[in-house]
Structure 1
Amino acid sequence: MMRQFLEIKTANPDSLLFYRMGDFYELFFEDAVVASRALGITLTTRGKHLGSDIPMCGVPVHAADDYLQRLIALGHRVAVCEQMEDPAEAKKRGSKSVVRRDVVRLVTPGTLTEDNLLDSRRNNFLAALARLRAGGDDGFALAWADISTGEFAVIEATRAELPALIARVDPGELLVSDALYDDGDLRDLWREMRSAVTPLPTAVFDSTAAERRLRDYFDVATLDGFGPLARPEIAAAGAVIAYIDRTQMGEKPPLKIPAREMRGAVMAIDPATRANLELVATLSGERRGSLAEAVDRTVTAAGGRELARRLSSPLTDPARIAARHEAVAWLAERPALRRGLRETMHAAPDIARARARIVLARGGPRDLAGIRDGIGAVHALCARLRPDGGPDNAAEADMPPILADIAARLDGPDRALFDELTTALVERPPHLRRDGGFIQAGFAAELDEARGLRDESRQIVAGLQAKYQEATGIKSLKVRHNNVLGYFVEVTAQHGDRMLAAPLNETFFHRQTLASQVRFSTAELADLEGRIASAAERAMALENEIFDALVARIAGDGVALEAAAAALGELDVHAGFAELAVERNYVRPVVSDDLAFDIVGGRHPVVEQALARDGGGPFVANDCDLSPPDDVSGDAAAGRILLITGPNMAGKSTFLRQNALIAVLAQAGGFVPAETAHIGVVDRLFSRVGAADDLARGRSTFMVEMVETAAILNQSGPRALVILDEIGRGTATFDGLSIAWATIEHLHEVNGCRALFATHFHELTALSETMARLHNATVRVKEWKGEVVFLHEVVPGAADRSYGIQVAKLAGLPAPVLSRAREVLERLEETDRRAGAAGLTDDLPLFATHVRSAAAAPVPPANAALVQRLGGVSPDELTPLQALEMLYELKRLAETGGDGQDAG
């Protein structure tokens, strides 16, 4: 047996081997050491190898999924090795024969299908990144598939687009070639990923072989029907198929034909921005507190996944966005219909994942029931969406096209399949096939007979016992059973001789004599024993035959089921958005193909609900207008930059984030928390909010801030929306001020984007005088009896102070520290006033707007005279007296304004 284990382990060196032995999966050698430490289970030994004890640990088969989940979460891969024959068959080859075993599946982070290993409301994508070199340029493509739902997509990308693209897909596992994995330019990208990165031989990404794999998998003669796929896209999609074939041991998940996504079709959001805005998960990785959790009103697993997908990849096509808004508005106006749809959907199982498990031979009776109940639900939804759906829930003929398409797809699954599943299956079948009892009585006569014999064996045996007691006249006669003799008739020793004599010995033949009992059997009992022993086995075999037939029927209706499952998720999202709009008073936004960004009464969707939930009072709504100024049009038009000052805790970061989230929600197809909203399509969203270091890569908090800022300045364009908070605060005051100043100039003159820029550098507010698109805003506060009161209102203007010491007091700093801080602040402010800090913008050439298109402001006469006079002076040649006289002359020029007259 150990030789067999080592042979199988050698073939799967990079996986922990779950070696099936009866009711346990056993692990040996180093696998056992690793698993026992990871799972916290006991490490034992079994036998010896090369003179040393063999480490061993094991997990019960019935609880294996729980252990698999923990191992996969820790980054391990597992090879599941099953017994491929009955131990009794192995014994026929000899007493020392080993049961034949083989690996039936490799369990990896990107190839999970079990419900308890997956998040029902999130996709689990297996992705592959391919690169083909042509003409000196790198052409990348990313393909991703979810084998638990059948989704499959592919897209081309540039090197610069990869981080945002991979972050959007958020795969459970990313496949790359050895060459890409070792590429120094991409090494940082692999480190930053939350996904498992699996290097594969470069040959796996050969586009010619990949094309052949795709044709074979989808059983087509050519890929022309898939659309104009580029070579990198074919290579990436083929690598996904190759890995699926390897891990699923030839089983074919029901994947859709790969959908080619166009570049620029969705809003690009880089990893840092996704993390900062907490779109589908918070910074701690939890769903609670994220945008997805706040706006999720879906009632199905498919709807939850579709919502997460839309929030992760908002659209950039105004027409498609408007179609989604129209569907939400239509459902919001029909509360009775919406309520009926949501009630029906609430009972709908996860059709896509149930179907995938069935096709992969991992499904059980409950998955069949899921398909049954799912078909019933989609047909009921379709009936509600028809114009004659009923007096209370009837839909009108003016249904939006997007909902009409959903209704058509919901009507696709075969009704005869639903009837067959309903007739065949019990209402609530068991989870596992081996448990049996999932086929209804009356569906198959032969099965009923086998079950009757199996279930009524006790009554049958009791009847025989009574019959034999009457025939022999021995009231103490018993019919018993053990594992050695099977069924037998037992009498006390005093009746033994009578049973051995005629005429009873013609019916009862002797089996065994004990000290106080004598045992017999009969032909009738032997026949019954055979039938009873095989009845349970026969009943299970018949149920499995019916199960396989139903699976084949489901596979035959796969395309329609696939379409209906997707339609169910889409309808759930539209209805959920409508429910949210009514519940939270959200409005339909206008999304246009321009640079508008005008939010009136905007609210933060997460914070608003948290305040309501925790009794924190109403959320203070604020306006935000980043639209191009009215007096600028044509090619010169560009959105505003809003420079926001104000104290900590006043709400600047909330204001910044809420406007970004409103844009995401609007372009995802939802209504938004505002009184009105007009948003010109945002093609790229950038957010630099908060502070964090990256110790693993030797990056300080400030370095991380600068890297993220660099990405924004290098990539954002006129259609981008940029959110920046406290740029430059991680270094010395003047260094930070310089960086923040230059960043604003670059955003204004080079990027030309719409931006929100929060800062504590009040000196930056002076820039609004020279930058046409830069506007100042501040968050209002009041002081009351020495305390600071935050009003959370964003108004035009600049803050007069930071109120940092007041905030420190709220945080609980000791009184002596606060007192000393006030003393130091007063001295610093006095020094600042004496130094003339108000003239900073004029005195520091570092801050010259070198990219300003307008002509530089004229030099004042006094400055011109000073410059002219100093131009001919050589300081090294001046005597002390001449230097003193020069100072008097310069002072006179400054006072007279350069014309010899008094400047006053």
Structure 2
Amino acid sequence: MNRIVTEPAPETIDTLPEPAPNEAEGKVTPSMAQYIEIKAANPDCLLFYRMGDFYELFFRDAEEASRTLGIVLTKRGKHHGQDIPMCGVPVVRADEYLQRLIAAGHRVAVCEQLEDPAEARKRGSKSVVRRDVVRLVTPGTITEDNLLDTGRSNFLLAVARSKAGATSDDDARFGLAWLDISTGAFRVAETDGRRLAAEIARIDPSEIVLAEKLFDDEGLKPLWRSLKSATTPVSSAFFDGATAADRVAAYFGVSTVDGFGLFSRAELAAAAGAVAYVDKTQLGRRARLDIPVRDGGTAIMLIDAATRANLELHRTLSGDRRGSLFSAIDRCVTPAGQRLLAERLAGPLTEPASIHRRLDAVDRLIAEPVLRGRLREALAAAPDMMRPLGRLSLARGGPRDLGAIRDGLAAAAALADRLARDLAEAPDELAAARDALLAAPHDLGRLLGTALKDDLPLIRRDGHFVREGYSDQLDELRELSADSRRLIARLEADYQLETGIKSLKIRHNNVLGFFVDTTAVHGEKLMAPPLNARFIHRQTLAGAVRFTTTELSELEAKIASAGERALGLENQIFDDLATRVLTAGDAINAAAQAIAAIDVAAGFAELADREGYTRPEIDDSLDFRIAGGRHPVVEQALRAGAGDPFVANDCDLSPFAAGGAEAGRIVVVTGPNMGGKSTYLRQNALIAIMAQIGSFVPAASARLGVVDRLFSRVGAADDLARGRSTFMVEMVETAAILNQAGNRALVILDEIGRGTATFDGLSIAWAAIEHLHETNRCRSLFATHYHELTALAERLPRLANATSRVREWKGDVVFLHEIVPGAADRSYGIQVARLAGLPAAVITRAKQVLKQLEEHDRKRPAATLIDDLPLFSALKAKPVEPEVPAAPPAAPGSTEVIAALDAIAPDDLSPREALEALYRLKGVLAAARKG
């Protein structure tokens, strides 16, 4: 977890330079004194202190930046007799370094020069250029495109807590407010302590802001430590519930928030904390935010962080986007569409009507391939309008941001026209998008098209972004600046004609500027009446005489100022256009959201058409029937590799008559490694997610009752930083599932209990299945190598067995990747080890050991132990009361048993040898009783 502190640590305070004598004058330099003052006001940030063409860092900031960025640490002067550490980065490459610092969890205060050095010199030779912090750059408040992922929202999350009426942290109410200042999105929600971690995982914020008291809460510290987001504790005043509503209202310039909707006290406190933090980091510049909207948290599938990672929804376990579900299903052609797809993937819906609304749009675009192609062609020409709009609102925009609004509105017009002509009776989602596009400010788009050139500079101070013909005054200034040579040549010709001196020239140098140059002989003529009244002598050289004239001086002044005046006028035009854009900001943002919605629907239609996906049936039942299901990521990877086809498999977790309609089925999947068990588990979970985000699914058919929570325990990983072994991580995740899953949940578990001793693991897996069956009553897939568990199907009515088929051929094993009803009797682990390249001697010896162990196992298979153990349901019906310990009477044969026990060395026994020893002890006891 990256923690961002808001109060200076003691060691930071100690390293701040205080005014102290330097070696020469007994004073700190004026620039260093200025640095001290500004750094003291921003102790929690690395200070980027602008000095000419560099941002420089000093003292502890320099040491930290040098380590993080891998740049050279040097020194500048002395402080308290010691060298002052210093490093710097070029202003032109500042964004590159900012990105790396922010990724490392730092906050950066950007301190700019607020005046030209020439202005400072007017106040005195030792005056320092005025500087001040113009913005605080934090992970959750970035707006620059080169610092952001175009396909991912950059959320700042504020968390507030209300303990009113709560008896524990789990019962406390938490307000969540998350916003993206780069797009204006602003949402709020309320949850409880049990769902808090899953909600944060769904939002996936870049930065979390919370009150110091909440950050230091002992019960919540494990959660904050587990998060990868930067976490920023701030003053509790940011979340003051008594003033929260007024603070939010003031930000949006309204007298009350009642018109925004009905929010809880916790939600308002979180929203107030979010806008207060934005105000602090933007230093008074008001970010354009949408009105806060309550998020439908209860209508969204909850997926905890571990499940998201296990299923690789947005990124693989190695952190790559390629190979994730998002990468496999993303067919969007706009950045806004990619962000919307990512948000939908993070929070699948649980209301069938809303899901079908999305599916209807996809279905229609599949049926209209020509229209879909034209829409996608128009979408490809639509740049991102949300983030340029956000930068313009913070006065950080440039000509290309205005150009993006221009081109985006042009694309919006084309899309609206296409939908209106070719899709008169559109599904609800497409109709809503069409209406938003029709309401876009198309006249503003045409104005921007008239005003702006096609090729635009990145920075407004570079100028030359206003189209010729838009401003007569600007055109005149440009002509004066650009055509100075022609104007000078015209004046030179006039002077030659007037004086009769054909060798007269107008020249320029840095000392005299423009001047009239002629030979010494002709110079006497110009210095004589009447020409001397017009030509003013400037300089006499050995072979030439130089003059100026009133017209030439005036023309020189015009030429010198024309470029500056032209740039100033262009900036005025920029400010006027930006104001017009911001005035129409809500309509532009609505059009941008409509473009994103169309892009996602068209992308899903393209995906379904090309990959052969089908429309799922979604309802409120507990059904879960998938015919011919395929893993969307693996299928594409196989095709891109050797071109092998994916083996489709069915899955049925639906309730059936014998098991009751209010509980789903559990399927225990056995079979060899590499047989496809893990792929099978994951593909069914991914199909459920895809269906509930409104996508068609990779299956021949799918009928699914909505899943309200999805849990996954797949794979092995440790958490050494928190002192957790692989098995401990496995048990923590399993505990979360068994404690939280309800009957509408979908649970996939892979190899529970394999991280410990055989009998311990078998016992845990056994008990977990019984708990899922009797208490959670949810739909579940349970993959295991404990073949003994398959016998539970005879005792648990809603449990069924399935296995991955293999075929042995001439001593080798062929994995068919087919999941069929039944149970496996072996794991083929040695064959897999041989394929992995273990030495032949190891493989041979392993086969010998396995043969011996199997011969022992046939005498008393461990699976028969099931007859000796009561079921979990029976234990629940008749709880066992604890007994008072009492000395038991001596049993027949106890002496012989004790002697046999003394002969056993437990540490030297394998699991199977321990089992055999147990049988021998029972044999000794039985023999003693008979005797």
CA contact (8 A) 1:777 1:797 kept: yes
- The alpha-carbon distance between structure 1 residues 879 and 509, as it changes in their structure 2 partners (threshold 3 A), is closer
CA contact (8 A) 1:268 1:685 kept: yes
What is the Cα deviation at residue 257 of structure 1?
1.1
Name the counterpart of 2:377: 343
- The alpha-carbon distance between structure 1 residues 105 and 572, as it changes in their structure 2 partners (threshold 3 A), is same
What is the Cα deviation at residue 767 of structure 1?
0.5
- The alpha-carbon distance between structure 1 residues 719 and 86, as it changes in their structure 2 partners (threshold 3 A), is same
Which runs of structure 2 are paired with 1:262-277 in the superposition (5 Å)?
Answer: 262-277=296-311
2-structure distance, mates of 1:318, 1:233: 27
- The alpha-carbon distance between structure 1 residues 254 and 287, as it changes in their structure 2 partners (threshold 3 A), is same
CA contact (8 A) 1:749 1:851 kept: no
Give the one of 210, 218, 221 matched to 1:187.
221
Which runs of structure 2 are paired with 1:528-539 in the superposition (5 Å)?
Answer: 528-539=555-566
**Helix, strand or coil for the counterpart of 1:134?**
coil
What is the Cα deviation at residue 84 of structure 1?
1.8
What is the Cα deviation at residue 21 of structure 1?
2.6
CA contact (8 A) 2:120 2:129 kept: yes
2-structure distance, mates of 1:114, 1:176: 25
* Residue type of the alignment partner of 1:462: A
Name the counterpart of 1:812: 837
What is the Cα deviation at residue 48 of structure 1?
3.4
- The alpha-carbon distance between structure 1 residues 470 and 61, as it changes in their structure 2 partners (threshold 3 A), is farther
* Residue type of the alignment partner of 1:61: V
- The alpha-carbon distance between structure 1 residues 277 and 560, as it changes in their structure 2 partners (threshold 3 A), is same
2-structure distance, mates of 1:274, 1:629: 30
**Helix, strand or coil for the counterpart of 1:310?**
helix
Does residue 700 (structure 1) correspond to residue 725 (structure 2)? The answer is yes
CA contact (8 A) 1:24 1:61 kept: yes
Give the one of 266, 275, 289 matched to 2:323.
289
Give the one of 9, 17, 41 matched to 1:11.
41
Name the counterpart of 1:326: 360
CA RMSD in angstroms comes to 2.4
1-structure distance, mates of 2:292, 2:486: 59
Q: Which runs of 5+ in 1 are unaligned?
A: 857-870, 881-885, 895-904
- The alpha-carbon distance between structure 1 residues 443 and 831, as it changes in their structure 2 partners (threshold 3 A), is same
Name the counterpart of 2:740: 715
CA contact (8 A) 1:300 1:349 kept: yes
2-structure distance, mates of 1:890, 1:877: 11
Name the counterpart of 2:104: 74
- The alpha-carbon distance between structure 1 residues 612 and 55, as it changes in their structure 2 partners (threshold 3 A), is same
2-structure distance, mates of 1:268, 1:750: 19
Worse-superposed segment, 316-325 or 462-471: 462-471
Name the counterpart of 2:54: 24
CA contact (8 A) 1:171 1:195 kept: yes
Name the counterpart of 1:424: 451
* Residue type of the alignment partner of 1:748: H
Give the one of 294, 308, 311 matched to 1:260.
294
**Helix, strand or coil for the counterpart of 1:666?**
helix
Name the counterpart of 1:649: 674
Name the counterpart of 2:892: 875
**Helix, strand or coil for the counterpart of 2:142?**
coil
Does residue 830 (structure 1) correspond to residue 855 (structure 2)? The answer is yes
1-structure distance, mates of 2:769, 2:727: 18
Aligned-pair identity in percent equals: 61
Name the counterpart of 1:627: 654
- The alpha-carbon distance between structure 1 residues 878 and 827, as it changes in their structure 2 partners (threshold 3 A), is closer
What is the Cα deviation at residue 874 of structure 1?
4.0
- The alpha-carbon distance between structure 1 residues 524 and 872, as it changes in their structure 2 partners (threshold 3 A), is closer
1-structure distance, mates of 2:516, 2:32: 45
CA contact (8 A) 2:892 2:929 kept: no
Give the one of 158, 171, 175 matched to 2:209.
175
CA contact (8 A) 1:82 1:101 kept: yes
* Residue type of the alignment partner of 1:686: F
Which runs of structure 2 are paired with 1:45-444 in the superposition (5 Å)?
Answer: 45-137=75-167, 138-386=172-420, 389=421, 394-397=422-425, 399-444=426-471
* Residue type of the alignment partner of 2:211: S
**Helix, strand or coil for the counterpart of 1:548?**
helix
2-structure distance, mates of 1:706, 1:774: 22
* Residue type of the alignment partner of 1:721: L
2-structure distance, mates of 1:596, 1:890: 51
What is the Cα deviation at residue 72 of structure 1?
1.1
Q: Deviations over 1:818-876 (max 9, x none)?
A: 01111111111122222342421123x4x6425567899xxxxxxxxxxxxxx998438
* Residue type of the alignment partner of 1:2: M
1-structure distance, mates of 2:100, 2:129: 29
Q: Which runs of 5+ in 2 are unaligned?
A: 1-30, 880-887, 898-921
* Residue type of the alignment partner of 2:547: F
Name the counterpart of 1:595: 622
Name the counterpart of 1:673: 698
2-structure distance, mates of 1:853, 1:33: 62
2-structure distance, mates of 1:307, 1:21: 43
- The alpha-carbon distance between structure 1 residues 646 and 509, as it changes in their structure 2 partners (threshold 3 A), is same
- The alpha-carbon distance between structure 1 residues 539 and 819, as it changes in their structure 2 partners (threshold 3 A), is same
CA contact (8 A) 2:896 2:924 kept: no
Name the counterpart of 1:541: 568
1-structure distance, mates of 2:280, 2:926: 84
1-structure distance, mates of 2:924, 2:827: 40
1-structure distance, mates of 2:150, 2:896: 86
Give the one of 69, 72, 75 matched to 1:39.
69
Which runs of structure 2 are paired with 1:478-497 in the superposition (5 Å)?
Answer: 478-491=505-518, 497=524
Give the one of 778, 782, 803 matched to 2:828.
803
* Residue type of the alignment partner of 2:645: P
2-structure distance, mates of 1:373, 1:649: 51
**Helix, strand or coil for the counterpart of 2:766?**
helix
What is the Cα deviation at residue 889 of structure 1?
12
1-structure distance, mates of 2:743, 2:894: 55
Name the counterpart of 1:748: 773
- The alpha-carbon distance between structure 1 residues 420 and 833, as it changes in their structure 2 partners (threshold 3 A), is same
Name the counterpart of 2:883: none
* Residue type of the alignment partner of 2:756: T
* Residue type of the alignment partner of 1:83: Q
2-structure distance, mates of 1:890, 1:442: 108
* Residue type of the alignment partner of 1:849: F
1-structure distance, mates of 2:92, 2:896: 98
What is the Cα deviation at residue 452 of structure 1?
0.4
Does residue 849 (structure 1) correspond to residue 872 (structure 2)? The answer is yes
* Residue type of the alignment partner of 1:20: R
Worse-superposed segment, 266-275 or 494-503: 494-503
CA contact (8 A) 1:79 1:107 kept: yes
2-structure distance, mates of 1:889, 1:596: 52
**Helix, strand or coil for the counterpart of 1:102?**
strand
What is the Cα deviation at residue 892 of structure 1?
13
2-structure distance, mates of 1:447, 1:493: 42
CA contact (8 A) 1:300 1:350 kept: yes
Q: Deviations over 1:578-626 (max 9, x none)?
A: 1111111100001110110000000000000011111241000000000
**Helix, strand or coil for the counterpart of 2:685?**
helix
1-structure distance, mates of 2:331, 2:805: 34
**Helix, strand or coil for the counterpart of 1:441?**
coil
CA contact (8 A) 2:158 2:270 kept: yes
CA contact (8 A) 2:893 2:929 kept: no
What is the Cα deviation at residue 26 of structure 1?
2.4
What is the Cα deviation at residue 282 of structure 1?
0.9
Q: Deviations over 1:335-394 (max 9, x none)?
A: 1111111100110010111111111111111111111111111111111111xx1xxxx1
What is the Cα deviation at residue 495 of structure 1?
5.6
CA contact (8 A) 1:322 1:669 kept: yes
